[in-house]
Homo-oligomer: A and B are copies of this chain.
Amino acid sequence: MTEITRHHTATRMSQIIEHGDTIYLAGQVGTAGAPVARQTQDCLDKIDALLAEVGSDKTRILQTTIWLADMKNFAEMNAVWDAWVPEGHAPARACGEAKLATPEYLVEFLVVAAR
Contact = CB atoms under 8 A, between A and B. Distances in A.
Interface string A89-115: 111111111111110000010101011
A101 B24 contact: no
Given A27-B94, A93-B27, A98-B98, A17 B67 contact: no
A25 B10 CA distance: 23
Interface residues of A, number: 54
B89 A19 contact: no
Nearest to A3: B114
A91 to B, nearest CB: 6
Contact of A19 (B2, B17, B114): B114
Contact of A108 (B26, B96, B98): B96
